[in-house]
């Protein structure tokens, strides 16, 4: 069986370095925060092209801290509306709900997975204070269009960049440096994955960075002095060390992902399967390679029969989840059609040429 994602093969090249930093970690005596976290924060800020990076416990907490930070700055208040993509993972919506804000679900374009700018404008009201975009599956949104839209309506532009590490458009718009602030996840299966949970916020806003740095640490910037009602949402020092190793060769991993994606797009020729697009620039880093099929259960069974593991991202749209029952009455037909037809097929840097060929041949024979 070709696994959907082979975490062992992805981490194997780093095993010796991981072992070394584990010993350094044990010898350092700094197990929470400390120099290792500061080092990674500086590295990742430079990678994204932002002034600041604040390491957090995970991606959801990173996104939640952004909203909590803006609440402390008085730029957003409980009950305010936030535009969110209807087609996304539920964590995007949970961050809004957790902070006492109201998610306003926006349909995607009929020709792509990202938030529709036309629909976003229709849903904007005097109560709307932020636009939360998601670079879903690793593909950037229409950067300049959403930047201009946010400026026109005086909205905070916030990125959920959990799947888009390193994505860049027109050689100057990079995930994490497109909006006012961005949240990243370093969950083990992400393009840059830790060996446990971890996340980060990136921003150029010095005041927001200061507040988030404090909020993640019980609301304290100085030990036993608490300025805010904060949280324990800190990045582990060990995960920071692992991430520094992963980050060093991540650009080559992006190229491998894009090469495999381009091969799929060029060689899969089956009218029953709708393929994603491959932009000419580097605005898609293919965290997931998502196709669309009409008879999904039949397709999934066919792939399993041919020893290929596929997954569904995501089978139930957020507004149909029991946790968000208040929104179940929304009419979001494009979102629902996507959630009924999307299938993710294996794509990761360590995927062998033989396995790539088998996947292509199987899809063509479906």
How many CB atoms are closer than 10 A to CB 268?
A: 18
- Same domain as 226, residue 124: yes
Burial 57-93 (b: 16+ CB within 10 A, else e): bbbbbbbbbbbbbbbbeebbeeebbbbbbbbbbbbbb
pLDDT of residue 170: 85
Side by side, which strands form the sheet with 102-106? 52-56, 199-203, 181-185, 156-160, 128-134, 81-85, 102-106
CA distance 279 to 262: 10
Which residue in the block uniquely carries the two structure tokens 């999307």?
342
Residue range 277-327, pLDDT digits in tens: 888 788 999 999 999 999 999 999 999 999 999 999 999 999 999 999 999
Task: State the alpha helices, DSSP H only, in 75-203.
Answer: 90-98, 117-123, 143-152
Question: By three-state DSSP, how is residue 235 classified?
Answer: coil
319 and 175 assigned to the same domain: no
Last residue of a domain, one of 190, 215, 248: 248
| Local structure of 35: helix, strand or coil | helix
CATH, residue 240: 3.40.640.10
| Number of domains composing the chain | 2
CATH code for the domain of 317: 3.90.1150.10
Domain that holds residue 69: 7-106+113-248
Sign of CA dihedral 280, 283, 288, 290: negative
Asked whether residue 82 is assigned to any structural domain, the reply reads yes
Whether 137 and 215 map to the same domain: the answer is yes
**What pLDDT sits at residue 353?**
97
Same domain, 337 and 277: yes
For the purposes of burial, counting CB atoms within 10 Å of the CB of 112, is it exposed (0-12), middle (13-18) or buried (19 or more)? middle
| Predicted model pTM | 0.96
Whether residues 283 and 161 share a domain: the answer is no
Confidence of residue 366 (pLDDT cuts 50, 70, 90): very high
Lowest mean pLDDT among 23-32, 317-326, 336-345: 23-32
């Amino acid at each position: 069986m070709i696994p959907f994602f082979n975490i062992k093969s992805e981490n194997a090249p780093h095993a010796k370095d991981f072992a070394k930093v584990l010993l350094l970690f044990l010898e350092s005596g700094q197990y929470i925060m400390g120099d290792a976290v500061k080092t990674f924060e500086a590295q990742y800020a430079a990678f994204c092209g932002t002034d600041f990076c604040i390491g957090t416990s995970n991606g959801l907490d990173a996104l939640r801290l952004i909203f909590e930070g803006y609440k402390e700055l008085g730029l957003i208040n409980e009950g305010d509306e936030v535009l969110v993509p209807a087609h996304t993972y539920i964590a995007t919506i949970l961050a809004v709900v957790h902070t006492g804000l109201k998610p306003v679900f926006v349909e995607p374009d009929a020709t792509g997975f990202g938030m529709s700018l036309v629909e976003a404008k229709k849903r904007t009201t005097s109560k709307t204070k932020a636009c939360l975009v998601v670079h879903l599956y690793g593909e950037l949104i229409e950067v300049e269009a959403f930047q201009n839209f946010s400026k026109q309506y005086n909205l905070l532009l916030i990125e959920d960049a959990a799947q888009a590490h390193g994505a860049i458009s027109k050689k100057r718009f990079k995930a994490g440096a497109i909006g006012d602030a961005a949240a990243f996840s370093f969950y083990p299966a992400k393009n840059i994955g830790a060996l446990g949970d971890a996340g980060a916020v990136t921003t150029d806003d010095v005041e927001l960075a200061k507040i988030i740095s404090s909020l993640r640490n019980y609301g304290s910037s100085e030990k036993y002095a608490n300025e805010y009602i904060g949280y324990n949402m800190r990045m582990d020092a060990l995960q920071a060390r692992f991430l520094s190793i992963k980050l060093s060769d991540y650009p080559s991993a992006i190229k491998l992902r894009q090469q495999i994606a381009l091969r799929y797009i060029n060689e899969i020729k089956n009218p029953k399967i709708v393929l994603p697009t491959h932009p000419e620039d580097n605005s898609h880093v293919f965290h997931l390679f998502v196709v669309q099929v009409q008879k999904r259960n039949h397709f999934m069974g066919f792939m399993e029969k041919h020893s290929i593991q596929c997954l569904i991202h995501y089978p139930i749209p957020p507004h149909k989840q029991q946790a968000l029952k208040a929104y179940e009455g929304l009419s979001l037909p494009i979102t629902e059609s996507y959630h009924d037809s999307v299938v993710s097929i294996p794509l990761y840097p360590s995927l062998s040429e033989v396995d790539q060929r088998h996947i292509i041949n199987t899809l063509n024979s479906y």
